[in-house]
Amino acid sequence: DVQVTQSPSSLSASVGDSVTITCRASQSIISNVNWYRQKPGKAPELLIYSASRLQSGVPSRFSGSASGTDSTLTISSLQLEDFATYYCQQSYSTPWTFGQGTRVEIK
C-alpha cells in the first residue's frame, strides 16, 4: 500500500494568514494526489486534484504543488470557512489512502 504522511497534525492561524500543509508518500506517486477540506459534521469536499489543479468553484486562495514524494497545499489568505480539517489522498494505486488530517484552528 502507498502510505501518506501528513504534517502538521494541527496548526493555529489567524484570518488572512497563509498556511501550508505537507503530504509525503511512501513512494513516488507522480502527481496523483488530491486535497480535501472537511468541516465539522460534513462530508469532505474536493479542493485540489492532480496535485495542483483547482476544482471548479474552489477559490483561488487554494493552491497545490508536488515535487518527488512530497505534495503541499497552500491557503494564501485564510477565511473563516477555512478553519477545518484538511486531508491529502493518493490516487496512484488501490487501496486509495488518505493522510491523517491537518486541523486548522483559529489562533
Partner 1 sequence: QLQLQESGSGLVKPSQTLSLTCAVSGGSISSGGYSWNWIRQAPGQGLEWIGYIYNGGRTDYNPSLKGRVSISEDRSKSQISLTLRSVTAADTAVYFCARLNELGTYWYFDVWGRGTLVTVSS
Is residue 67 close enough to count as binding partner 1 by CB under 8 A?
Answer: no
- C-beta of 45 vs 77, nearer to partner 1: 45
- For residue 21 the three cell numbers come to 500543509
CB of 15 to partner 1, least distance (A): 26
Is residue 98 close enough to count as binding partner 1 by CB under 8 A?
Answer: yes
The Cα–Cα gap between 14 and 2 comes to: 34
Of residues 2, 25, 32, 83, which one binds partner 1 by CB under 8 A?
Answer: 32
Could you say which DSSP state residue 34 is in?
A: E
Q: Would you tell me how many other CB atoms lie within 10 Å of the CB of residue 5?
A: 14
Nearest alpha-carbon partner for 52 in 27, 37, 73, 24: 73
Is residue 62 close enough to count as binding partner 1 by CB under 8 A?
Answer: no
Which residues form the interface with partner 1 (CB under 8 A)?
1, 31-32, 34, 36, 42-46, 49-50, 53, 55, 87, 89, 91, 94-101
